[in-house]
Amino acid sequence: MSERSDGSPVEEGARGPVRERFVTGADGVRLSVAEYGEGPGDAARPTVVLLHGYPDSKEVWSRVVPLLADRFHVVLYDVRGHGRSQAPAPLKGGFTLDRLTADFLAVADAVSPDRPVHLVGHDWGSVQGWEFVTVPQTRGRIASFTSVSGPSLDHFGHWIRERVRRPTARHLAQVLSQGAKSWYIYALHTPVLPELAWRGPLGKRWPAMMARAEKLPRGDYPTASLPRDAAHGAWLYRDNVRQRLSHPRPDPRPHVPVQLVTPTGDPFLSVPLYADLERWVPDLTRRTLPVKHWVPRTRPDQLAGWVTEFVSRTDRESGRDGERGSDPAPTGSSKVPSVLGKGRAEAVERFGGQLVLVTGAASGIGRATALAFAEAGARVVAVDRDGEGAARTVELARRAGAPEAWPETVDVSDARAMEELAIRTSADRGVPDVVVNNAGIGLAGSFLDTSPADWKEVLDVNLWGVIHGCRLFGRQMVERGQGGHIVNTASAAAFQPSRALPAYSTSKAAVLMLSECLRAELAPHGIGVSAICPGFVATPITASARHTGVDAAEQQRRRDRSAKLYKLRNYPPEKVARAIVHAVQRDLAVVPVTPEAHGLRLLSRLAPGVARTLARVDPPL
Ligand code: NAI
C-alpha cells in the first residue's frame, strides 16, 4: 500500500510503487495523477488511463490497478473538482466537455508524450471517454477505448430522437424505461439541493447504500472526499447533459476501436440504450456481464481481463507492439468446426473472458460444451477422470478460441478431490462464472439385478458428482456475490420411468429435482440453475454403459446394439452443447433436448398413465 503525502492510503493493494504528480489542465486547474507499473517508452508496456465516474474519485479503480500494473503503465487521475484535483472557479461552466477533453490531453501528454494511450472509462469517465474519442483534437493520442456503464451523450441524444420520431410501442417503452432509470439526472439539475444532500445525510449513508446495493465488502471505498466529489460533480450533469441530449452532434463516430462493457443489471442504464451503437462504431467489441453498475468494484478480475485482451489485440493489429497483424493465440479455429454457428456473436458478447468449468469434458456432450464456450471466448476448465481426454479437449478448446484452458484430472464422485479442485480453481483462476456438472455414466438392468455396489457406483457419479459441484462452486459464487450459473446434465430418463433403467433414471430424476430446489435457493443471489434433459445423443456413453444381470458376452452384444441405435438416431452432442449455452443465456430452468425428450416430458404431464405403460417396454440402452 502506498501513502499520500498526508499519510492516507492512495490505492489499497496496488502493485509496484505509485508515482504521484500534479498536471495542469484547462484554465490552470491542477489535476492529481497517479501512475503504476513501468513508465512510458517501453513498447511492451502500453499506457492505460483509467477514468472514474460520478460520484467517485480515482480510488474506484483500486481493485483493478493491481491486475493491470504487472503488464501496463497504469495511470489514474482525479477529474477536476474530485479527489485531490482542484475545482474550477466558478463551478458553473467549469465542467464542460471541452474543458474535460483539454484536461485529458494534458494528462496524456504528461504521462505518455510519444505514444497514444488506451482509455478505460466508467460511468461519467466513460461519458467523457466517448467525447474524447469522437473529437478531432485527440486523434493520434488515444489507441483504444473501453466504455463501462456510461453512454455517449451524442449517441444518447440520437437514440431518444429516433424513438420519439418513430414512436412504435417498443420504442416508447424503451424511452419510458430509460427515462425512469434517469430520475437522478433530473434531481441533479435542481439547484443547491443535491449539494446539501451530499454534504449531509446522503453523503453519510452512501457507502452503506452502495455496499448493500452492489453487494460490496465495506472497506476504505468510497473515500472521505465523497461528499465534496459528489457536490462538485453535479456540475458534470448541469454543464452538459441537457444541452447535448437536445442537440447531439451530427456524426459522433469514434476514431479508435471501442470495447463496450454492458452490465445487464445496471439500475441507471438500460441495455437497449446501446442497441444502435454499431451505426456509430464500426469497430465495436461487445461484452456483457450480469451485474449492477459498479463493475470496477464488483468484477475487477473480469474487467482487467477484458482490458488486457483488448489493449493487446488493438496494439497487435495496429503494429504498435511490432508484430502487426500477427495472431499469437494458437487458435487455428478453422480446424475446429464451429459448435455455435449463428449463435456465436451473442455467445461471445455474453461469455467472452468468463471462466467456465465443465465436468465430463473429455468426451461427448461435455467436450462439445467445453468447445462451445471456448468458441465464445470463455476461459475453460475441462474436468474429467480421463486426464488424456481432458488434455485433448483443452488443446481443441484453445484452437476453438479459448484465451486460456486447463485440464483437470478429477473423479467427480470423490468429495475430497472435488474440494481440492474448487480450492485450486478459485485460487489460480478465480470463481467460475458457469459450472456445468455433466460427468455421468450409464447403467442398465432391472432393479432386482442391480446390486448395492451398482447403485453406489451410479449414484456416486451421476448424483454425488453433481451435488459436490453444486455445493462447492455454488458456495463460491454466493460468497463472491456477483451471480453465476450452474448447469446440471440430467436426462429425458428423469421424466420417464423405465423397468430397464431404475438406477440411472433415479439418479437423473434426483438431479432434476436437485436443480429445481437449488434454483429456488440461489435465485436471490443472482445465480441461475438449469437442468438439461437430452434424449438419445450419439456419444461414446453406449460403449461404457454397464448392463447388469448378464454375462460379458451379452453385455457386449447389448452395448453394440445400443451403439448402433444411437448412431442411427444420430443426434450430435454439439446440439446439446448449444442448448446448454442457450440455457445459460436465457436462464432456463429445465431444458429438454431432442424431440423424444420434449415428447416424454409432455407425456409425463398430460398422460402419465401412458408413460407408465411405456415403462414396461425395454428401451434400446
Ligand atoms: P460420454 O461417455 O461421452 O462422456 C462422459 C464423460 O464423463 C467421459 O469423458 C467420462 O470419462 C466422464 N466421467 C464419467 N465418470 C466420471 C467421474 N466419476 N469423474 C469424472 N469424469 C467422469 O457420455 P455423454 O453422453 O457425453 O454423457 C454426458 C452426460 O449426459 C452424462 O451425465 C449422461 O448421463 C448424460 N446424458 C447422455 C445422454 C446420451 O444419450 N448420450 C442422454 C441423456 C443424458
Q: What is the pLDDT of residues 15-47, one digit of tens each?
A: 456 889 999 999 999 999 999 987 655 656 999
- Residue 528, classified by CB atoms within 10 Å of its CB into exposed (0-12), middle (13-18) or buried (19+), is buried
- HSE of 524, CA atoms in CB hemisphere, 13 A: 2
Q: Helix or strand or coil: residue 572?
A: coil
Asked whether the beta carbons of 460 and 439 are under 8 A apart, the reply is: no
Give mean pLDDT, residues 64-80: 95
Give mean pLDDT, residues 353-368: 97
In DSSP terms, 533 is beta-bridged to: 592
Quick one: which atom of ligand 1 is closest to the CA of 573? 26
Give the residue from 81, 74, 73 showing the smallest Cα distance to 26.
81
Residue with CA at minimum distance from ligand 1 atom 36: 491
Please list, in sequence order, all residues whose beta carbon lies within 8 angstroms of the beta carbon of residue 246, skipping any fewer than 6 positions away. 157
Which cell numbers hold the place of 207? 457507502
556-572 pLDDT tens trace: 999 999 999 988 889 99
Residues 577, 352, 11: CA angle, nearest 5 degrees:
145
What is the reported pLDDT for 39? 62
Residue with CA at minimum distance from ligand 1 atom 6: 360
| Count helices and strands in the chain by DSSP H and E runs | 23, 17
Helix (H) or strand (E) holding 103: helix 97-111
- In terms of phi and psi (left: phi > 0; alpha: psi -120 to 50; beta: otherwise), the region of 127 is alpha
3-state secondary structure 109-172: HHHCCCCCEEEEEECHHHHHHHHHHHCHHHCCCEEEEEEECCCCHHHHHHHHHHHHHCCCHHHH
Distance between CA atoms of 282 and 30, rounded to whole angstroms? 36
Q: Ligand 1, residues 357, 365, 505, 511: which to mutate, most atoms within 8 A of Cβ?
A: 365
Give the residue from 537, 543, 538 showing the smallest Cα distance to 560.
543
- HSE of 86, CA atoms in CB hemisphere, 13 A: 15
Distance between CA atoms of 560 and 459, rounded to whole angstroms? 24
- Name the pLDDT band for 138 (thresholds 50, 70, 90): very high
Chain-centroid distance, C-alpha 24? 38
Which cell numbers hold the place of 437? 456438472
What is the reported pLDDT for 210? 87
Task: Mark out the alpha helices in 190-255 (DSSP H runs).
Answer: 193-199, 201-214, 226-246
Asked which of 129-133, 195-199, 462-466 is least confident by mean pLDDT, the reply is: 195-199
Asked which of 26-35, 132-141, 181-190, 259-268 is least confident by mean pLDDT, the reply is: 181-190
Ligand 1 lining (C-beta closer than 6 Å) = 359-360, 362-366, 384-386, 389, 411-413, 438-441, 461, 465, 489, 491, 534, 536-537, 539-541, 544, 573
Quick one: which atom of ligand 1 is closest to the CA of 390? 9
Q: Helix or strand or coil: residue 9?
A: strand
What is the reported pLDDT for 41? 56
Asked whether the beta carbons of 402 and 455 are under 8 A apart, the reply is: no
Quick one: which atom of ligand 1 is closest to the CA of 536? 40
Quick one: which atom of ligand 1 is closest to the CA of 535? 42
309-357 pLDDT tens trace: 999 999 988 887 764 443 444 444 456 899 999 999 999 989 998 999 9
Please list, in sequence order, all residues whose beta carbon lies within 8 angstroms of the beta carbon of residue 258, skipping any fewer than 6 positions away. 133, 144, 145, 146, 147, 281, 283, 284, 285
Query: Could you give the C-alpha distances from 587 to 317, 435, 579, in angstroms and in order?
Result: 36, 13, 11
Q: Ligand 1, residues 421, 457, 539, 576: which to mutate, most atoms within 8 A of Cβ?
A: 539
Which cell numbers hold the place of 270? 438500460
Q: Which residue out of 77, 221, 237, 504 is catalytically annotated?
A: 504
Q: Which amino acid appears at position 293 of this protein? A: H
Please list, in sequence order, all residues whose beta carbon lies within 8 angstroms of the beta carbon of residue 170, skipping any fewer than 6 positions away. none
Please list, in sequence order, all residues whose beta carbon lies within 8 angstroms of the beta carbon of residue 431, skipping any fewer than 6 positions away. 355, 473, 476, 477, 479, 480, 484
Q: What's the gap in Å between 489 CA and the centre of ligand 1?
A: 9
What is the reported pLDDT for 331? 42
- Name the pLDDT band for 227 (thresholds 50, 70, 90): very high
Task: Mark out the alpha helices in 299-379 (DSSP H runs).
Answer: 300-318, 344-351, 364-375
Distance between CA atoms of 380 and 356, rounded to whole angstroms? 5
What is the reported pLDDT for 14? 44
Cα end-to-end span (Å), the chain: 62
Which cell numbers hold the place of 290? 450480469
Q: What's the gap in Å between 439 CA and the centre of ligand 1?
A: 5
Average pLDDT, the chain: 91
Give mean pLDDT, residues 124-145: 97
Distance between CA atoms of 483 and 290, rounded to whole angstroms? 7
What is the reported pLDDT for 2? 36
Count Cβ atoms below 10 Å from residue 592 Cβ, excluding itself.
Answer: 23
What is the reported pLDDT for 31? 98
What is the reported pLDDT for 216? 81
452-500 pLDDT tens trace: 999 999 999 999 999 999 999 999 999 988 899 999 999 999 999 999 9
Distance between CA atoms of 532 and 582, rounded to whole angstroms? 11
DSSP 504-542: HHHHHHHHHHHHHHHHHHHGGGTEEEEEEEE-S--STHH
Residue 10 has pLDDT above 90, yes or no: no
Give mean pLDDT, residues 84-108: 97
Q: Which amino acid appears at position 353 of this protein? A: G
Residue 7 has pLDDT above 50, yes or no: no
Give mean pLDDT, residues 211-239: 89
Report the share of the chain in percent with pLDDT over 90. Answer: 76
What is the reported pLDDT for 16? 54
What is the reported pLDDT for 335? 67
Is 237 annotated as catalytic? no
Query: Could you give the C-alpha distances from 580 to 230, 232, 339, 595, in angstroms and in order?
Result: 44, 48, 12, 16
In DSSP terms, 355 is beta-bridged to: 379
